C-alpha cells in the first residue's frame, strides 16, 4: 500500500522572547517555580497590529516550499491545525494559501487543540494513501498569546507562539506514516477551554469583563489526565506495531510540560537522549509544538528512523502517530 511520507519540514517562531524574568514582573511567580514545574525558560510572542496565526503559518510554509523545491502550483491540498484562527471564518488555511501563492486547491482548518497537528497529519495522510493527491502540506500554527490572560500566573507561564509545516508525498519501501491512533473525551471540556467567543457565549461586555475570552485550565486535572493518556496511547501504538523501546529512534511529544514528557518516555522505555525537547525555548505552542520539534531536530534524523509522535490537548483530545522517517 502506498504510504504518505514526510519529505520536508520547516518552522517559524517570532523574534520577541518572553523570558521567565520578564514574567516575574507581570505576575507573582519566579524562574525557579516555572522551570521546576514546567521546564520552560522562555517563549516567543508575535508582536504587531493585525498579526495572526496565518502570518506565522505562511512563514513556515514559504520556508518549506523553498527548501523542498516545491512550486505553489504543485501543492494539491493544505490543512492547518489551530485553536487561534485569525478569524472565525475564513479558515486560517485559506489565508496561508493566499499569502504564499497557493491557488485553486482545497484548504481547511482542523481544531483538536494541542493534538491538532496529529489529527491534521492523519487526515492529510488519507489523501496521499488514497492516491487522490501527490503533495499535501500540513501546518500547525498558534498565536496563544492572543488568548492567554497575563494576569493569571497558572496559565501565562505556559504558552508561546509559533508555527511548523510538513510536506507529505507518496512513498514506497515502508517509509512514511505507518499507523495512528486518535482519541477524545468531551467530558474533559470543563478542565481546559475558552468559554466565550463561540456560539454559546458570543462576545458581550459581560463576557469581556468576566475574562471568558482567555484560555482556562484546571492544571492538576489536566496534568493527571495527560500523563496517563499520552503514555497509554504511545505504549499502545508501540505494542500494535511490535516496537520495543530500543527500536524507537525518537519520541516526538507535545511540549506542554516536561514532567508529562518524562512520564511518557519512561512508560515507553525511551531514554531522555531520544526524546525531542524544545519546551525550554518555546513553551507550549499548541498545534505547532510537534512540527517545531521535527524542524529543530531535522539534522539528527536518519532515513528509516522510527518516530513516535504523541500529543494531548483540550477537549480532551489525544493521540499517537508512528512514522518511519523517509530522508
Distance between start and end Cα atoms, the chain: 19
* Phi, psi (deg, nearest 5) at residue 135: -135, 115
Q: How far out from the chain centre does Cα 233 lie? A: 17
Cβ-count burial 263-295 (b if 16+ within 10 Å, e if not)? bbbebbebeeebbbbbbebbbbbbbbbbbbbbb
Which one of 80, 114, 156, 293 is the catalytic residue?
114
Total residue length of the chain? 327
Q: Is 284 a catalytic residue?
A: yes
The x, y and z cell numbers of residue 78, run together, are 493544505
Closest CA to 253 of 231, 276, 269: 276
Q: Is 10 a catalytic residue?
A: no
Closest CA to 23 of 214, 208, 114, 159: 159
- Cβ proximity of 55 and 15 under 8 Å: no
Q: Quick count: other Cβ atoms within 10 Å of Cβ 228?
A: 16
Which one of 229, 257, 278, 284 is the catalytic residue?
284
Which one of 20, 254, 257, 278 is the catalytic residue?
254
DSSP per-residue codes, 56-70: HHHHHHHHHHHHTT-
Residues annotated as catalytic (active site), given as ranges: 114, 254, 284
Amino acid at each position: 500500500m502506498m504510504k504518505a511520507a514526510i519529505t520536508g519540514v520547516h518552522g517559524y517562531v517570532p523574534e520577541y522572547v518572553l523570558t521567565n524574568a520578564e514574567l516575574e514582573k507581570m505576575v507573582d511567580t519566579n524562574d525557579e517555580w516555572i522551570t521546576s514545574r514546567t521546564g520552560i525558560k522562555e517563549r516567543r510572542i508575535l508582536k504587531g497590529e493585525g498579526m495572526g496565526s496565518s502570518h506565522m503559518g505562511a512563514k513556515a510554509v514559504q520556508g518549506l516550499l523553498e527548501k523542498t523545491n516545491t512550486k505553489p502550483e504543485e501543492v494539491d491540498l493544505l490543512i492547518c491545525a489551530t485553536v487561534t484562527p485569525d478569524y472565525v471564518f475564513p479558515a486560517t488555511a485559506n489565508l496561508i494559501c493566499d499569502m504564499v501563492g497557493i491557488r485553486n486547491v482545497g484548504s481547511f482548518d482542523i481544531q483538536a487543540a494541542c493534538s491538532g497537528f496529529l489529527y491534521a497529519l492523519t487526515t492529510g495522510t488519507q489523501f496521499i494513501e488514497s492516491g487522490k493527491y501527490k503533495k499535501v502540506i500540513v501546518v500547525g500554527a498558534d498565536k496563544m498569546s492572543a488568548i492567554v490572560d497575563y494576569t493569571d500566573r497558572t496559565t501565562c507561564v505556559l504558552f508561546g507562539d509559533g508555527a511548523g509545516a510538513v510536506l507529505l508525498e507518496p512513498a514506497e519501501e515502508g517509509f512514511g506514516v505507518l499507523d495512528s491512533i486518535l482519541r477524545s473525551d468531551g467530558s474533559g471540556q470543563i478542565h481546559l477551554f475558552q468559554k466565550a467567543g463561540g456560539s454559546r457565549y458570543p462576545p458581550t461586555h459581560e463576557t469581556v469583563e468576566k475574562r471568558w475570552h482567555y484560555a482556562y485550565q484546571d492544571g492538576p486535572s489536566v496534568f493527571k489526565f495527560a500523563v496517563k493518556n499520552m503514555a497509554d496511547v504511545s505504549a499502545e501504538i508501540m505494542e500494535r506495531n511490535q516496537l520495543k523501546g530500543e527500536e524507537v529512534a525518537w519520541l516526538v511529544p507535545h511540549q506542554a510540560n516536561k514532567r508529562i514528557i518524562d512520564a511518557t518516555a519512561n512508560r515507553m522505555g525511551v531514554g531522555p537522549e531520544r526524546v525531542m525537547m524544545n519546551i525550554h525555548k518555546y513553551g507550549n505552542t499548541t498545534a505547532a509544538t510537534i512540527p517545531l520539534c521535527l524542524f529543530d531536530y531535522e539534522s539528527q534524523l536518519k532515513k528509516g528512523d522510527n518516530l513516535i509522535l504523541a500529543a494531548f490537548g483540550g477537549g480532551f483530545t489525544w493521540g499517537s502517530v508512528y512514522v518511519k522517517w523517509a530522508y
